[in-house]
Chains A and B, each alone.
Chain A
Amino acid sequence: MHNADYLEIDGRLGYVEVVGDGDDTLLCIHTAGQSGVQYRNNAKGLAALGFRVVVVDLPGHGRSEPAVDGPITSIPYYADWCMKVLDQVATGRRYLLGCSIGGRIVLEMASRFSDSLEAVVAMECPVAPTAARTWRKPEDSSTPSVRDQTYYSNLSLIGSDVPAETAEMIATMHCREDWHVTRSDLVAWGRHDLWSRLPDISCPTYVISGGDSFGENLRPTAERIPGALFQSVKGIAHYPNQEMPDFADAFKGWLEELRQAPVPARGGN
């Protein structure tokens, strides 16, 4: 099964793809400024693991309408929006997967809704003890050649083991974004104050880092989450699900590790 639909959430239409007809639901969340198209090569593989895979375009991204108040600068807002998506389309147990701000959204959801989540995998989303990014309104007049900046900066975020053709595809696909939305997402990331709430996460959690990106710098985030597992994957960088050709197999392995790991006490501390 591969269905697409527009859901009405907070007065606007949000685009959702559903792949597979498994009993349990896996919600996939994309990176800053991007869309669910980042999971185009993963969704079927993940569905083959027995999931009903739900891939969202966050408000203002991809095929979703912008939020009523324009670009979002709040990770908690995105987390609430994603929960509303799940409430409309999810079946069975709920699993979460996200990368970069998608990973932050996953951790935000886990910090508040662990009791309703079976397991989460958060990729490339270090949490800092302090959140301080200031807001500056995006202005095209002061930001030339954005497409070039996007292309080259994303090329630099791809791992050393990734074939050049794949890296070129990832960087080129990123150029579809609206940079005002991307900038707002990064502000949301910078403002996101989660460090003190990481210990509240009580569902099984796997934190994944790209070895050529944040690497071991992501370990402190994982260590602050009760019972969380951590892995830094060599040869890849900021986009594991786009860089790893065998991503679904890797994801399956991470879930198996979580199932065998000691279960943290529900309810957190």
Chain B
Amino acid sequence: MSALDERAATPAVPEVADFDGLRVGMVSDTGVAPAPAAGAPQLPAAVIQAPPVRDAQVTGIDWKVGVRSGSVGVRLEGIVTRWKPARRRGRGRVHQDVRLVDADGQVVERAHVTWDVPAASDVQDDESAPRVAWDVGTVAWGKHLAAGLAADEDFASAVETFDGSVGIRSGDEQVEFRIYRGSVIEVARKTPEGPTFTVTGSERAWLDLLAAGKNDLVARLGRNEFRSTGNNYQYLRIFRAIMLMVDAARLAVVEEKPSA
């Protein structure tokens, strides 16, 4: 089962959910058909049989087979890791972390699955998108985070002597925070000289970190759920600021209205 705590755990997705009713962190749990033959892959067929939302179409499966070879999956556990409302084309996007588990609850195969949802509800731009607190790595999320950090004296103190950019990457989304003399002076997809360093995790890793009972980024770094790239000296030097950014991101998730 998911490691999410109660703040993220929500009732399982109905057999056919509405796009607007879907939320990041929503868990699904469905039985799967037996494997057609011993050792045959099960996950892709099982995924297609269990869309997270009505009329969703698979657009990508980043699939890891043989995680537990020789075992047979009996259930498909999915958790929504990103939810993007439609823009212009009227097509929404849903990302899932999906795990095929055997009768002992052990993961047999796992995948990151992306879905396209035609005729999803439209919004005008990402910055007005609801549920921005969960949309890690987007510019909208970055601006939301920077607004929260603006009044944080500890953050200002931690980056008082820093002159550079911090990248935060979640899956395919990356945002950069240009920081100078204790303040975030710009949030952008790319800064002119690029990030001084970047903290990277999968969408699932960020989801688990934001929903965990405490900010345990250090432990997750130790388990390679996250990594830093770029200037490691500067990363170490302002590590407290990174922890404070994660604290702010976790607070934003708690404060976000459930109805948003």
Contact = CB atoms under 8 A, between A and B. Distances in A.
Interface in A117-146: 142-145
B63 interface: no
A239 B213 CA distance: 20
Nearest to A151: B240
Interface stretch (A22-30, A94-102, A152-160, A185-193): A152-160
Interface of B: 213, 216-219, 222, 233, 236-240, 243
A149 interface: yes
Contacts of A145: 236-240
A149 B219 contact: no
A144 B218 contact: no
A8 interface: no
Contact of B239 (A148, A156, A160): A148
Name B's interface SS: helix
A142 B237 CA distance: 10
Nearest to A153: B218
Contacts of A156: 216, 218-219, 222
Contacts of B236: 143-145, 149
Contacts, number: 26
B233 A144 contact: yes
Q: Which 4 A-B pairs have the closest CB atoms?
A: A156-B218, A144-B237, A156-B219, A148-B240
Nearest to B218: A156
B213 A160 contact: yes
A142 B233 contact: yes
Q: Which of B218, B238, B243 has the most CB of A within 10 A?
A: B218
A155 B218 contact: yes
A34 B217 CA distance: 24
Interface of A: 142-145, 148-149, 152-153, 155-156, 160
Contacts of A155: 218
22 contacts: A142-B233, A143-B236, A144-B236, A144-B237, A145-B236, A145-B237, A145-B238, A145-B240, A148-B239, A149-B236, A149-B239, A152-B217, A152-B218, A152-B239, A152-B240, A152-B243, A153-B218, A155-B218, A156-B218, A156-B219, A156-B222, A160-B213
Contacts of B233: 142, 144
Name A's interface SS: helix
Nearest to B240: A148
A145 B236 CA distance: 6
A124 B8 CA distance: 32
Contacts of A142: 233
A129 to B, nearest CB: 21
A61 B236 CA distance: 25
Given A145-B240, A152-B240, 12 more contacts: A143-B236, A144-B237, A145-B236, A145-B237, A145-B238, A148-B239, A149-B236, A149-B239, A152-B217, A152-B243, A156-B219, A160-B213
A157 B3 CA distance: 19
Contacts of B238: 145
A143 B238 CA distance: 12
Contacts of B217: 152
A209 B226 CA distance: 26
Contacts of B237: 144-145
Q: Which of B217, B219, B222 has the most CB of A within 10 A?
A: B219
B224 to A, nearest CB: 14
A28 B236 CA distance: 34
Nearest to A144: B237
Nearest to A237: B219
Nearest to A212: B219
A172 to B, nearest CB: 14
A49 B67 CA distance: 50
A160 B219 CA distance: 13
A145 B160 CA distance: 14
A128 to B, nearest CB: 17
A256 B33 CA distance: 52
Nearest to A157: B219
A155 B216 CA distance: 8
Contacts of A160: 213
A153 B219 CA distance: 8
B182 to A, nearest CB: 16
